[in-house]
Amino acid sequence: MEGAMRRTVSVAVLLLVLCTRPNKAQITSSSINNTAATAEAMNIMFTPPELIKIPAESEYVVNWTTTVQEEVHAVEITVTDPGVLKVTGSGPRSWWLVVSPSSNVTAAGTFNITTLLLGYSNVTLTLYNEKEQIIGNGTMRTSVLNKDQILNKIFSASLGVLIGLIYVNMGATINLDVIKEIAKKPIGPVVGLVCQYGGMPLIAFGLSQVIFSDSPLLQLGMFLSGTCPGGGASNMWTHLLGGRLDLSIMMTFTSTMFAFISVPAWVLLLGPLIVDDSNFQIPFVKIVIIVVTLVVPCFVGILIQKFLPKVAAFLKKLLTPFSIFNILYILTFGLYANRYIFYVIDARIILAGLALPVIGYLLGIVVSMLLRLDRPDVIAISIETGIQNAAIALFILNATLEAPAGQLAAVVPAASVIMTPVPLVIAYIVKTIYGKVQSRRNKGDGTEVAVERGGNAEKTANGSSIQMNNSLNKSAGIDNPAADLSDRAI
């Protein structure tokens, strides 16, 4: 009954769910294996008694003994998840009778375990007599970890360095006057925060209940993904798609700061509906580290802009190619370092990874357009709403859940990282093609406009000219240079 109720949970009835408080799914270090039987080994003993946190793609030999009084005629070995490990060497010759009078052991045997993928699986051994009746059984617990731990650490460290460098570029590019104007009338940041911290957690919770109704771990991973906005990639995509970068950076900073309050609040509010574990904690120190890695490089870039304008101009030219490089780095080495995801991923995880950011993009667009915001603002708010800070979600999962539970739950935020750029890549390709088509059309019409970067007037093809305003248009930030043009004739 509870499972049926949980599958019908939606955002519309969320308050009712909070009031009724259904029974909670337990996820602790001792009970995390939701497919496991009890550890009691009835009348069979294993050596080693269990294989916990062993690496993937490795082999182990397991010995078993029994004290059953009847003669063992056949042995059967089964595993709960054949995708996690396989058992070999369990044929007729893998066990033998023991006739030593000095021991209570009446039969013994051996088999091999080969680990395959990340996850949990139990090995159950059953003994049969000549009449094919069960005379003994025992269960051994196993858990398998991801093999490439070193590559994951290298990727995480290198990505942190790259994000720091790109924030230096962004700090050297943003317009402080525009930031001040946004602070005076913070409509954009307020709209973004409402979408990010009001809408996305509820959407993520509702989707998790529908898509992963039978897996508390995956529910938790998706829910945490929706409560952690402010991903650094949002600024890169805002820049590439012509959004208001000043607003995007300000929203990223404010949303990350709000994470200190909002993430614990949402986890305390809805987390107990998914997991009840006193050891589940929010890693505030790591959130501080994330904030520092965003603020300090950006501040360095601002100092460069103020005291080294030539260097700032050079960094501004590097912003777009460096943003593209970061994205390609994530999609190549990042995917390789976390390739285990592709072995455990399924259609539901792909759906969840794509649905969450797409709904976020649409939510940001709809709310921003209803408030009649400018197109650059709509783009920035949409991207900021859809892109989540997977780093915070991964930190929380890995810091609070014992491996491999944390890695299994992290599959959803990892899938979201993979699927999030898909709509944005399509939008960027369409934008690029459209820009080239318009450029060729303007050339054909003799109306092509060319201006110098320094702001000097440049003649157009039809004999008129335009004047570039040295001061940035306040409604366009730095990412819409067309808004800085004045169409008055010279």
Q: Residue 104 is part of a domain; what is its CATH number?
A: 2.60.40.10
Encoded tokens for 9: 């949970």
The mean pLDDT value for 237-251 works out to 86
Mean pLDDT computed over every residue of the chain: 75
Last residue of a domain, one of 111, 145, 179: 145
Of 112, 145, 178, which closes a domain?
Answer: 145
- pTM of the predicted structure, to 2 decimals: 0.66
Structural domain ending residue among the three candidates 90, 112, 145: 145
CA neighbours closer than 13 Å in the CB half-sphere of residue 316: 17
In the chain, the percentage of residues whose pLDDT exceeds 90 is 21
Residues 135 and 154 in one domain: no
In this structure, the strands spanning 74-79 and 465-468 are unpaired
State pLDDT tens for residues 431-468. Answer: 999 888 888 887 766 655 444 433 344 444 444 444 44
pLDDT higher than threshold 70 for residue 185: yes
Residue 39 is assigned to a structural domain of this protein: no
Q: Pick from 147-151, 222-226, 280-284 the range whose average pLDDT is largest.
A: 222-226
> Is the domain of 153 the same as that of 141?
no
- Residue 390's pLDDT band, with cuts at 50, 70 and 90, is confident
Q: Is there a domain that residue 175 lies in?
A: yes
pLDDT at 262: 80
The CA distance from 472 to 169, in Å, is: 18
Question: Mean per-residue pLDDT for 370-392?
Answer: 88
DSSP character string of 303-325: HHHHH-HHHHHHHHHHHHHHHHH
Q: Are residues 129 and 168 in the same domain?
A: no
**pLDDT of 290:** 66
| Residue 26, token pair as written in the block | 């337990």
Do 122 and 241 fall into the same domain? Answer: no
Q: Is 160 in the same domain as 296?
A: yes
426 shares a domain with 287: yes
Distance CA(218)–CA(414), nearest Å, equals 11
Evaluate whether residue 404 is within a structural domain: yes
Same domain, 128 and 217: no
Say yes or no: 395 and 348 in one domain.
Answer: yes
| Structural domain contains residue 186 | yes
Task: List, as own/partner pairs, every contact residues 318-325 make where C-beta atoms lie below 8 angstroms and the sequence separation is at least 24, other chains included.
Answer: 318/169, 319/166, 319/169, 319/170, 319/173, 319/239, 320/239, 320/240, 322/165, 322/166, 322/169, 323/166, 323/236, 323/237, 323/239, 323/240, 324/240
8: in domain:
no
Over residues 152-166, the mean pLDDT reads 79
> Same domain, yes or no, for 337 and 203?
yes
Considering the domain architecture, whether residues 216 and 348 belong to the same structural domain is answered as yes
**Structure-block tokens of residue 104:** 């209570």
The SS3 of residue 43 is coil
Judged by phi (left if over 0) then psi (alpha if -120 to 50, else beta), residue 280 lies in: beta
- Specify the length of the chain in residues: 490
Q: Which residues pair with 486 in a beta bridge?
A: 467
How would you classify the pairing of strands 95-97 and 107-115?
Answer: antiparallel
Band of pLDDT at residue 193, cut at 50, 70 and 90: confident
Which CA distances in Å does 26 have to 145, 204, 356?
A: 21, 20, 25
Range scoring the smallest mean pLDDT among 99-108, 197-206, 267-276: 99-108
pLDDT tier for residue 295 given thresholds of 50, 70 and 90: confident
- Its domain, for residue 208, covers 149-434
pLDDT at site 460: 45
More confident residue, 45 or 156: 45
Q: Do 266 and 404 fall into the same domain? A: yes
Strands annotated E in 21-133: 44-47, 51-55, 59-66, 74-79, 85-88, 95-97, 107-115, 119-128
Residue 408 within a domain: yes
pLDDT-based confidence at residue 475 (cuts at 50, 70, 90): very low
SS3 149: helix
With cut-offs at 50, 70 and 90, classify the pLDDT of residue 481: very low
Tell me the mean pLDDT in the region 98-120: 78
Mean pLDDT of 64-74: 86
333-379, pLDDT tens digit by residue? 877 877 777 878 889 999 999 999 999 999 999 999 999 899 999 99
Does 33 reside within a domain? Answer: no
Same domain assignment for residues 69 and 174 = no
Give the chain's domain count.
2
